[in-house]
Amino acid sequence: MSNNFKNFDTLCIHAGIEDYEFGPVVPPIYQTSTFRFDNAEQGANIFAGKIKGYNYTRLNNPTIEAMENSIASLEGGYKALGCASGMAAIHTVFASLLKTGDHVVASHSLYGPTITLLDTIFAKFNIESTFINTSDLNIVENSLKRKNTKLVYIETPGNPTLDISDIEELAKLAHQYGALLVVDNAFMSPALQKPLLLGADVVLHSMSKYINGHADVIAGIVVVKDQDMYTLMRKTLNQTGGVIDPFNSFLIHRGVKTLSVRMEKHNFNAQKVAEFLANHPLIEKVYFPGLPNHPNKNIHDKQAKGPGAVISCEIKGGLRTGVELMNNLNLFQLAVSLGGVESLIQHPASMTHASVPVEQRLKSGITDGLIRISVGIEDINDLLEDLNNGLEKAKLVL
């Protein structure tokens, strides 16, 4: 089957699929740990990379490869590497690109475990990390002046305060000072934002989020621009072992087929929810790129095709009122993660970012009164009614 498709909706359905024995319209699940060779010479040539073939699923597998090629096509990249989790993808990037004595410049608004990974595991190897407001290019440039800075790592929108960083300008700055730009694109998915086409060197995702979209998979992916970067990261991933399995790859590739249409509904619902919250007397502040007063909204609109479906807000009365809201919702489920078809709500300071030191949390805007919402694709009227009922209950504890 040809994969020379140009339009995103078509790529979602057909990218990555090759011709398989017996003509299946979806890639079969090659649920095997190892592959038999026709003869010793063939086995040796496959291991040497001289001929196309498969040898061991930790190294390569047709089901995994189909999914990887699909995501690489969606991101406009050269190749992709499927990982066992989003954190495995992040670890693969850091382990591939960093060495003792290197310095990382990272957004202060990041997924909590990413901060902890840099501050604990990689700090043991004398790799230093500086967490800054990457929305401010002057602050970024000052941090890049250290000669040992090798990597700029960002999320945009940032987690959980939805800070917006300019991917194109950050790529130019990073390259000017001899560093690489890595973008965690999980909040947007390639349906809304393609960092590689804006100058980033590497893009990664937790595929547990929008790419899969159904809250039934733990997986991550790294997408790269060229053969050299792919070879480097493939060696690292194969040796450290954080690879994805065939069955989860099959589920993700199936989920990708509806990515485009899901994101349309996610965006629509989230816009309505954000506007409702922004006008509710119990909500002090709403963080959402779809609102006209969101900081750097013009930059987000330049580099993304929609606001996404993650909203954070500050509620009057702080944590006490927020707990009352979260405990009195029926449709919004109290759970971490995001990007599934169902709507979720959680408290970052005590959940996703609990491992981040309090001082660092507050510096990046994660207060005890901050609530993060992942808006699903349910009927918008049901979502608004559920939120309104919960907020009415929360009023009673003020």
Which residue bears the tokens 């999914």?
67
CA end-to-end span of the chain: 61
Using CA atoms, how far apart are residues 375 and 357, in angstroms rounded to an integer?
28
Give the Cα separation of 266 and 374 in Å (integer): 9
Residue 23: how many other CB atoms lie within 10 Å: 6
CA–CA gap between residue 64 and residue 86 (Å, rounded): 16
User: 20, 58, 285, 316: which one is catalytic?
Assistant: 58
Our measurement of the distance from residue 45's CA atom to the centroid of its chain's CA atoms, rounded to an integer in Å, reads: 36
Q: Active-site residue 111, yes or no?
A: yes
**H or E stretch at 26:** none
- Name the one residue in this structure whose structure tokens are 């990887």: 68
C-alpha to C-alpha distances, 301 to 101, 151, 291, nearest whole angstrom: 37, 25, 11
- State both tokens at 19: 């011709």
Query: Would you call 368 a catalytic residue per the annotation?
Result: no
User: Residue 4: what residue type?
Assistant: N
- Which pair of tokens denotes residue 351? 């959940």
Going from the C-alpha of 30 to that of each of 65, 66, 161, 246, 249, the distances in angstroms are: 11, 11, 41, 6, 10
Residues 290/300, Cβ–Cβ less than 8 Å: no
Nearest to 306 by CA among 290, 291, 295, 320: 290
What tokens were used for 104?
A: 């990382």
Whether 6 is catalytic is no
Rg (CA), the chain: 21
111, 153, 230, 287: which one is catalytic?
111
Which residues, 6+ apart, have CB-to-CB distance to 205 below 8 Å? 71, 86, 89, 184, 185, 186, 189, 211, 220, 221
Active-site annotation holds for 58: yes
| Closest among 96, 31, 38, 9 to 247, alpha carbons compared | 31
From 102, 184, 245, 386, active-site residue? 184
**Cα diameter, the chain:** 76
Which among 79, 150, 194, 209 is annotated as catalytic? 209
User: Where in the sequence numbering do the catalytic residues fall?
Assistant: 58, 111, 184, 209
